[in-house]
Structure 1
Amino acid sequence: MRGSGFLLPIVGLLGAGTAGAADVDLTEFKTTATVPPYYSAPSYSAPSWSVVGSISPTFTDNALFTRDNRRPDVYYEPDVSVRLDGNLTNDLSYRLYARAQYEAFSREKDSNFSVARMGARLTENWDGWRFSAIYEHRYDFDGIYRDVAFVSDDVMGSVARDFHVNNAAFSPLLLLTYRFSDLPEARRWRFDAVLGIEVKLDPRWSIVSTPLFEAYWFTDGLNTGRRDQLYSVDLGLKYNFASNVSLTTTVLYEARTSNVPLRRYRDLRIGPRLDFAF
């Protein structure tokens, strides 16, 4: 599903993407079930820089993300962001960021994928709810930063909140996106509903899960009229080495349905992920 060379025009037909959750970056919202700093209630402070990222070797039983041509493989995914965070008021925070991410497969090189993006976000905290407006400019590449497949501008709005019950944290998120792109097939609306769950076993160990639902409405080119839905469930065990370094081993099942039969698939992924923030 993630083509190389002559397959690039068809990449738009699948909505382009990473194995983590189709084509749009959810790391800001879905990297772990832990409530991240993004969700903290803002208080005024000077702007601060940080480097945030993850490294994750992962096994998949459907490296090409297709319905019929299923092939198992292992891929390696570094994902690093540089961020500038600050506050305009006690309740209004901002983030500027640049991010690089790629997936390198062991055997199925046609699935190699990479993306570079720059973005900005404003978040208003109101009575425990977080309302965000996000703009992101991104470049999707064929292979590992080889040829530009297409260029996109994503405009997003989200609402989120955290709930705590004893040793459990629940972080629901709703996200709506429209993608403008120089490739007509990549233009679409997208809706995400995510629930981050973390149950602490002790100060270092947690059970984590992030069930996800995504819906796509493609608007242009050969994808006009296409409707996709993606369902993802996972279960993981997380160990905190420190407040800014953790290792999570996860089993994830993903299924995509579509009114275009060839775009339907299912996938099982297993692997550890090292998360860090400095």
Structure 2
Amino acid sequence: MFGASPAWAADVDLTELKASSPVPYYSAPSWSVVGSVAPTFTDNALFSRDNRKSDLYYEPDVSVRLDGNLTNDLSYRLYARAQYEAFATEKDGNAAVARVGARLTENWDGWRFSAIYENRYDFDGVYRDLAFTSHDVMGSVARDFRMNNVTLSPLLLVTYRFSDLAEARRWRFDALLGIEVKLDPKWSIVSTPLFEAFWFTDGLNRGRQDQIYSADLGVKYNFTSNVSLTTSVLYEARTSNVAVRRYRDLRIGPRLDFAF
């Protein structure tokens, strides 16, 4: 796991960062539980360039959050989050992450500027062996644009990772565009094209540069305002100046999202 397991390459909390509305004002701090469950088919379970193996995996992702406001325009979030991927056959692909973090968000003229800190624990297997511990420092800017039944949510994110594993230390840049086209109050077409770039700074990975390109298309159904089901197809490819780190992957499956 030198640097970042591909399973967690696109693990930015997209739901959180590209929220479909400005951060609401809370008159008092508010607790919530937010998460998702996603059984998924992949044609490259080990994210390998040469050893492609198809498999099914199961991915639960749950966060406990405390949201509040310091001023009308400045909000905060404290959270703890756990997620893992468990494969049906390729057990070497199993991985898990636990993290605690804090976020400050300033709303300014429709834009959202965030500063984020995460203390992160990466595990081999499903919380079996601790692989490394990291401290991620992030800054992001995001905004929503609405045109009739279409919402566009661009996001830019920059991260530096401090870690007790030298090979995991790196800069990261994310650029994504959340797209939602409402067909009616229940149904939507959704997509989140994504670009990520990594610059590793230490250990055996010093000088390594990766780029990840991802595109997906899905159909979303809202059961209620806080429970939805999205079925999507995603294609992802990683390029790198270290040839063995290159891969491509196709994923298909549903994801149940909930918030309480």
Q: Which residue of 1 aligns with 2:5?
A: 16
Structure 1 counterpart of 2:19, one-letter code: P
Q: For 2:32 and 2:191, how far apart are their aligned partners in 1?
A: 26
Q: CA deviation at 1:100?
A: 0.5
TM-score w.r.t. the length of structure 2 is 0.97
- The yes-or-no answer on 1:88 pairing with 2:70 is yes
**Could you say which residue in structure 1 is the equivalent of 2:19?**
36
Q: Which residue of 2 aligns with 1:273?
A: 255
Q: TM-score, normalised by structure 1?
A: 0.91
Unaligned runs of 5+ in 1: 1-10
Q: After superposition, give the CA deviation of every residue in 1:147-184 in whole Å (9 maximum; x if it has no partner).
A: 10000000000000000011000000000000000000
* Displacement of 1:125: 0.3
- State the Cα deviation string for residues 121-164 of structure 1 (Å, max 9, x = none): 00000000000000000100010001100000000000000000
User: CA contact under 8 A between 2:6 and 2:47: conserved in structure 1?
Assistant: no
**SS class of match (2:2):** helix
1:28 shift after superposition: 4.4
| In 1: Cα distance, 2:16 partner to 2:159 partner | 14
In the alignment, the residues of structure 2 paired with residue 273 and residue 18 of structure 1 have an alpha-carbon distance, to the nearest angstrom, of: 16
Structure 2 residues without counterparts, runs of 5 or longer: none
Q: 1:237 to 1:28 in 2, by over 3 A?
A: closer
Q: How does 1:150-161 map to 2 (within 5 A)?
A: 150-161=132-143
- Give the aligned residue type for 2:113: F
Post-superposition offset of 1:36: 3.0
Contact 1:245–1:275 (CA under 8 A) maintained in structure 2: yes
The alignment yields a C-alpha RMSD, in angstroms, of 1.3
Matched, 1:121 2:95: no
Q: For residues 112 and 43 of structure 1, what CA distance do their matches in structure 2 show?
A: 39
- For 1:155, the aligned partner's letter is V
Partner letter of residue 68 of structure 1? D
Where does residue 172 of structure 1 map in the other structure?
Answer: 154
1:239 aligned partner: 221
CA positional deviation for 1:115: 0.5
Q: Secondary structure at the match of 2:105?
A: strand
1:228 paired to 2:210: yes
Structure 2 matches for 1:114-153, cutoff 5 A?
A: 114-153=96-135
- Whether contact under 8 Å (2:7, 2:47) holds in the other structure is no
The corresponding residue for 2:90 is 108
CA distance in structure 2 between the partners assigned to 1:29 and 1:48 by the alignment = 15
Paired amino acid for 1:223: N
8 Å CA contact 1:16–1:23 kept in 2: the answer is no
**Residues 78-121 of structure 1: CA deviation (Å, up to 9, x unaligned):** 00000000110000000000001000000000000000000000
% identical equivalent positions:
77
Q: For 1:115, give the aligned amino acid.
A: V
Contact 1:93 1:124 in 2 (8 A): yes
Distance 1:191 1:98 in 2: 23
SS in 1 for 2:167: helix
CA-CA distance at 1:12 after TM superposition: 1.3
Q: Distance in 2 between matches of 1:211 and 1:197?
A: 8
Q: Any idea what SS the aligned residue of 1:185 has?
A: helix
